Amino acid sequence: MKPFSLVKIAAALCVLASTCIAAISTSNVVVKVMERTGDKLFEKKLAYPKTFDNGPTITAATPFSVSFDASSDRTGKALALDQAFVSLRNMETGDEMAFAAKMGKNGSYRMDVTRKQFRSHLGAMPGKHMVSLVLGSFDEGGLFYELGEVQVAGKKRIGNADVLYGPRDEIHHRFAEPQRMPNVLLSLVFAGLVAAPLLALVGVWVRMGVNMSNLAKEPVGSSALMVLVAAYMALAVAYWIGVRLLPMLAYVLALALPTYLVGQYALSRRIQLGL
């Protein structure tokens, strides 16, 4: 999009340049309005300086496009323009919008008014609009070509600029009420019940007469196995705190093979040492 002042200046420069040089010509000018389903609502082929009458109505659901070719009068060859705009000027208010036309691979120019552009710019200024080509080249001059009038559907803005861009109504925001949390005592009891199996395991080991002194005779394998078992316990705690299931399973699978190999080594060494 280009501001109104820039569009008007560009149009004036094109007119002045065309009167002095008049070296740009257009051909295969096609104004088209189609439905999203692909059905054609309006299509008009023009040749400079002809215009079209009974223009179509443009809405957000009916894409509007203008395509054309540009060539040099002096050489007759296709021309790469320095500026190529399709201007839509509101006949009632004089407000003007300009959409850039882009060159395709075949050398033709095309401008499409997308649904987002319509809602952002044209939808707020409904009514009759004059469609014009604003073309310019540093070497060849410029051309201003009025194609015809189209009807833009939409809702008019209410109020003047001071009301439209002035202070809005105050917004009263209500924060969400905090969630009810369980009693602290209940949380402590639950944590104790979770830790109880570990304490019971240690107690069973003590009652069975587990001899920890033999660990010093085979410290490498036994220590590594204990570390891996502790890693599994840490993963269980992490899952309880907040680690998601899929990452948790990935960590468990990563520890599975090392645990198996280290366990085999530790048990084999203990058998060899007669522990």
Our measurement of the distance from residue 109's CA atom to the centroid of its chain's CA atoms, rounded to an integer in Å, reads: 27
Q: Among 141, 148, 6, which Cα is nearest to 64's?
A: 148
Helix (H) or strand (E) segment spanning residue 89 = strand 83-90
Per-residue pLDDT at 253 = 93
SS3 content of the chain, % helix, strand, coil (to 5): 40, 25, 30
pLDDT digits (tens, 9 = 90+) for 244-256: 888 889 999 999 9
pLDDT band with cut points at 50, 70 and 90 for residue 275:
low
CA angle 63, 69, 70 (to 5 degrees): 130
Residue 163 has pLDDT above 50, yes or no: no
pLDDT digits (tens, 9 = 90+) for 78-128: 888 888 888 888 888 888 888 888 888 888 888 888 777 777 767 677 788
Q: Which residues, in sequence order, are CB contacts of 48 under 8 Å at separation 6+? A: 25, 26, 27, 29, 143, 145
SS3 of residue 81 by DSSP: coil
Per-residue pLDDT at 164 = 46
Residue 3 has pLDDT above 50, yes or no: no
Per-residue pLDDT at 158 = 52
pLDDT digits (tens, 9 = 90+) for 31-63: 888 876 667 788 888 888 888 888 788 887 777
What percent of the chain has a predicted confidence (pLDDT) above 90?
A: 6
